[in-house]
Amino acid sequence: MARSDLLNNYRLFVTVGHSEYWSKEMRDNVEQFVKNGGNAAFFSGNTCFWQVRIEDDGNTLVCYKDLFPYYPYLDPVFPSNVCTVNWNAYPVCRPSTTLTGVSWSGSGPSDNQYIVENADHWVFEGVTSNGNSIKKGDRFGSWLDDPNIGPGSALGEVDHRTEGDMGRTHDLSDDCTNHGVQEEETDFHKLAIMQDSSRGEAVTMGIFFNGLGTVFTASIFNWTRGLSQNGSWGPIDQITLNVLNHLQLELTITVPNVFGLDQERASAKVKAAGLVPIFTNSGSVVWSQKPSAGSIVIPDSSVTMSLKPF
C-alpha cells in the first residue's frame, strides 16, 4: 500500500485474520484515509505488531527478527523510523493503538467467548441471545454455542485495550520512554471483552473515531470461525453485517477545487469525487463554486458551479 491514492475511491478498509506485518507506508496511508473520512474494520488480531520494509521494487519484504531481543541492531537502517522492530519499540515508538485502538496482549484467552459491555451500541443491533435482544453481561462468539468452535477456540494472538499503556515493549537498551512516544487516541468505546484467568481482560472489541473516520476492531484473528457454517445466523454474523453496512455508508468527502476549469473537466472532477455537479449558467470556465473547495460533505452532495460568461 505504498500508493497514497490507493484507497481514495473506497469507503471502508477491511482486514481479516492475522494482520501482523505492516510497512510505514501501509500504516501512514490507512491512518490518513481514516482521518480524511474513510473507515476501517479490523476483523483481525495481533494487528500491526511488526514494522517491515518493502524493497527492490516490491519484490523483497524485509524484517529483522533474529537474536531476540537485539534484532533492531542487526537492521542496517537502525536507528531510523523504518527500522524493522515492534511498532511500540525504539526507535519507532509508534504503538498500534493510534491505528486500531488496541495493542497485542498475547495468545488466546482461557475464556473463548466475548462478554457484552455496551449492548446499546449500533454494533449489536439485531443481535440476540436465546431469542432475546443481547444485553450487558451476555456471552457470545461460539458457533451454535459450541465452545470448541468460535473466534477464541483456536489459540491465536489477540489484542486488548490498556488505558494509559502503550502495550508491551521489549527490553531494549534505549526504550521509548524518553523519545516522544505518540499519544493514544482517547475516544475509545469498549463493546465487548474476553477474559483470561491469569491476565484479566485479554481481548477488547471496540470502536473509536480518528479524525473524520471511524475504526472498529474485533481484536482476534479467528473472527471468521464464528461465522455461520450451515446457513444459520448468529451474533458474529450479525455484528459483521452491522459493521460492514454502517461503515461503508459513513463517509465524508472533501470538495475538490474546480476553479478555472471548463465545464467538461469540472464536471468530471466533481463526479470522480463522488459528488453531483450542477451548473447555473453557460460560460467558459468555472468562476465560483458552492460548497467551496476543501469543504467536508457527505457522498452524493451537490456542487453548484457558476461559469464565467464567454
Listed range (142-146, 167-171, 187-191) with the worst mean pLDDT: 167-171
pLDDT reading at 252 higher than 80: no
In this prediction, residue 92 carries a pLDDT of 86
**Could you tell me if residue 4 is inside a domain?**
no
CATH number for 149: 3.40.50
DSSP 198-265: TTEEEEEEEEEEETTEEEEE--BTTGGGGS-SSS---HHHHHHHHHHHHHHH---EEPPP-TT-BHHH
**Could you tell me if residue 5 is inside a domain?**
no
**Could you tell me if residue 76 is inside a domain?**
yes
pLDDT reading at 122 higher than 70: yes
**Could you tell me if residue 2 is inside a domain?**
no
In this prediction, residue 243 carries a pLDDT of 94
Instruction: Convert the pLDDT of each residue in 24-55 to its tens digit.
Output: 999 999 999 999 889 999 999 999 999 999 99
In this prediction, residue 225 carries a pLDDT of 82
In this prediction, residue 199 carries a pLDDT of 84
Do 28 and 104 reside in the same domain of the chain? yes
Q: What is the mean pLDDT of the chain?
A: 83
As for how many domains the chain has, the answer is 2
Rounded average pLDDT over 229-249? 85
Give the domain extent around 191: 12-249
Do 27 and 89 reside in the same domain of the chain? yes
Do 224 and 275 reside in the same domain of the chain? no
Do 221 and 280 reside in the same domain of the chain? no
Instruction: Convert the pLDDT of each residue in 299-309 to its tens digit.
Output: 677 899 999 88
In this prediction, residue 166 carries a pLDDT of 45
Do 282 and 225 reside in the same domain of the chain? no
Do 152 and 124 reside in the same domain of the chain? yes
Sheet holding 286-290, edge to edge: 276-279, 302-307, 286-290
Most confident of 62-76, 138-152, 208-222: 208-222
Asked if residues 153 and 100 have their Cβ atoms less than 8 Å apart, the reply is: no
**Could you tell me if residue 45 is inside a domain?**
yes
Helices of type H across the chain? 24-35, 97-100, 235-249, 263-272
Do 135 and 268 reside in the same domain of the chain? no
Do 243 and 295 reside in the same domain of the chain? no
Asked if residues 143 and 109 have their Cβ atoms less than 8 Å apart, the reply is: no
Q: How confident is the model at residue 221 (pLDDT cuts 50, 70, 90)?
A: confident
Q: How confident is the model at residue 154 (pLDDT cuts 50, 70, 90)?
A: very low
Listed range (118-132, 163-177, 278-292) with the worst mean pLDDT: 163-177
pLDDT reading at 194 higher than 70: yes
